[in-house]
């Protein structure tokens, strides 16, 4: 049913019940839907039943039962029933007006939706169907045009042909009610509808959202109904993350389909995983760092850190010599502060990588400190596992970079500073103890 607004026609009523009608929202097999409002300004979608159906007493009685059941539906994924008059010359009912395009219109205009969005919409819809089925109602006509994408999430509309659980899908003239291509096989055969009927329709709807095409192709109503009963759904183009689940929803046997609750939980998992996959557009260094952080409980990160620590310890003296020759202080165990006095680094595994000249987050030298304490024995375990050891002296400084602002210290030029050696010895002992405790804790996990 087309939900685009159109002006009222001459034959359309201007007032129905306590609602004033403003526009046509569309027309379907059961009647015409109008945009209306009450005296308080609340907007509603009001459907007036066709005159020929209004004269059918069997239809009136069934319609009355279903409107009564629809009043019991609770949940934020459906358009709430506001009012109804089942005794009017032309029965009508009004539901909360939902702004936003239908799923059909969005896909037609913008193309297939990403897997994460399809899974998110499907999870919300299946959760809404849980509330519908708990009220003893089966929608029976779930399709892209009956799903509105409101700012607050998807909403299921048009319960006009919904029947109570256990009702037949056939009208008094023996024709199936619903939309070819989205009907379940049991509806086509005239068998009893169950909540699994809506699961089939939801699976076909999500397949359409993923491919912008019906899983049963195109053709006349008879051809489409035959395919639904006898042929497998075509899911070419459906993302791999969704295809197995949608195929299960489109099983010919209702007992082989997942329940709405199972479907909701599974789609939530897929939506979360696919959203995480979309975030992999982050820089490669950040993705590698996160993967290595996940390895921490296994102890492999600690082992790599220990290897680097031994390597750095053997290169410590050479780093001191290159610092003296180049006058830059890079590769030393101290970092020149703004006041020009040497500052001890690596006093703890958390501060060892943050006060030095190489930031573990940016991966480059710090212009503020001019030195790189993350290359000393006091580097943190976080930076130790995220980057392989760098050669000293010229690898990052480009041949002896001066401290920021040209500041130098006499301590930075002495080849043997007793105070510096004591600091480095203390740092080495502290870090060795921390690494040993880390390895012991990892082995106990």
Give the orientation angle of helix 195-211 with respect to helix 103-110, to 10 degrees: 20
Which residue in the block uniquely carries the two structure tokens 């059961």? Answer: 30
Sorted by sequence, the CB contacts under 8 Å of residue 207 that are 6+ apart come out as 214, 215, 233, 235, 238, 246, 250
Q: Among residues 141, 158, 213, 253, which one is catalytic? A: 141
Rounded CA-CA distance 445/439 in Å is: 10
Rounded CA-CA distance 347/353 in Å is: 10
Q: 149: closest CA among 177, 110, 178?
A: 110
Told to judge if 141 belongs to the known catalytic residues of this protein, a careful annotator would answer yes
Main-chain dihedrals φ then ψ at residue 279, nearest 5 degrees? -75, -5
Q: Show the tokens assigned to 373.
A: 């304490």
Q: How are beta strands 342-344 and 43-49 bridged, if at all? A: unpaired
**Does residue 133 contact residue 165 with C-beta atoms inside 8 Å?**
yes
Sorted by sequence, the CB contacts under 8 Å of residue 363 that are 6+ apart come out as 285, 387
Handedness of CA 391, 392, 393, 397 (dihedral sign): positive
**Does residue 24 contact residue 12 with C-beta atoms inside 8 Å?**
yes
**Does residue 234 contact residue 216 with C-beta atoms inside 8 Å?**
yes
Q: 227: closest CA among 183, 260, 191, 194?
A: 183
Rounded CA-CA distance 345/356 in Å is: 7
Which residue in the block uniquely carries the two structure tokens 């480059």? Answer: 364
**Does residue 177 contact residue 161 with C-beta atoms inside 8 Å?**
yes
Burial 87-103 (b: 16+ CB within 10 A, else e): eeebbbbbbebbebbbb
Neighbours of 366 (CB within 10 A): 19
- Reduced 3-state DSSP string for 188-217: HHCCECCHHHHHHHHHHHHHHHHHCCCCCC
Sorted by sequence, the CB contacts under 8 Å of residue 151 that are 6+ apart come out as 99, 100
Catalytic residues: 141
């Amino acid at each position: 049913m087309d939900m685009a607004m159109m002006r009222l026609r001459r034959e359309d009523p201007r007032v129905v019940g306590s609602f004033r009608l403003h526009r046509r929202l569309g027309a379907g097999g059961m009647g015409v839907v109008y945009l209306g409002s009450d005296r308080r300004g609340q907007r509603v979608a009001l459907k007036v039943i066709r005159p020929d159906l209004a004269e059918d007493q069997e239809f009136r009685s069934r319609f009355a039962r279903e409107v009564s059941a629809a009043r019991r539906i609770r949940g934020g994924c459906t358009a709430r029933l506001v009012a109804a008059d089942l005794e009017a010359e032309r029965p009508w009912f009004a539901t909360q007006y939902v702004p936003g395009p239908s799923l059909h219109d969005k896909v037609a205009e913008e193309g297939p939706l990403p897997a994460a969005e399809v899974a998110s919409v499907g999870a919300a819809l299946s959760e809404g169907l849980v509330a519908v089925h708990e009220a003893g109602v089966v929608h029976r006509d779930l399709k892209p045009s009956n799903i509105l994408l409101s700012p607050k999430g998807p909403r299921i509309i048009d319960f006009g042909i919904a029947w109570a659980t256990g009702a037949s899908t056939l009208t008094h003239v023996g024709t199936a009610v619903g939309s070819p291509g989205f009907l379940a096989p049991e509806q086509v055969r005239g068998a009893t509808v169950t909540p699994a009927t809506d699961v089939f329709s939801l699976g076909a709807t999500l397949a359409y959202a993923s491919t912008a095409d019906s899983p049963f192709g195109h053709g006349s109503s008879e051809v489409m109904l035959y395919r639904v009963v006898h042929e497998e759904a075509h899911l070419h183009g459906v993302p791999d993350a969704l295809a197995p689940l949608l195929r299960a929803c489109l099983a010919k046997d209702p007992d082989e389909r997942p329940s709405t609750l199972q479907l909701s939980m599974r789609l939530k998992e897929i939506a979360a995983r696919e959203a995480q996959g979309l975030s992999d557009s982050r820089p490669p260094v950040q993705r590698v760092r996160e993967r290595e952080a996940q390895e921490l409980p296994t102890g492999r990160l600690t082992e790599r850190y220990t290897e680097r620590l031994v390597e750095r310890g053997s290169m410590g003296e050479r780093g001191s010599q290159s610092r003296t020759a180049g006058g830059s202080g890079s590769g030393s165990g101290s970092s020149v502060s703004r006041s020009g006095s040497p500052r001890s680094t690596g006093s703890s595994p958390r501060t060892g990588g943050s006060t030095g000249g190489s930031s573990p987050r940016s991966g480059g030298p710090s212009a503020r400190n001019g030195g790189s304490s993350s290359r000393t024995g006091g580097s943190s375990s976080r930076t130790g596992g995220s980057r392989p050891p760098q050669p000293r002296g010229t690898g990052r400084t480009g041949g002896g970079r001066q401290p920021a602002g040209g500041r130098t210290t006499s301590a930075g030029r002495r080849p043997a500073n007793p105070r510096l050696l004591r600091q480095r010895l203390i740092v080495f002992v502290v870090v060795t103890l921390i690494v040993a405790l880390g390895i012991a804790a990892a082995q106990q996990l």
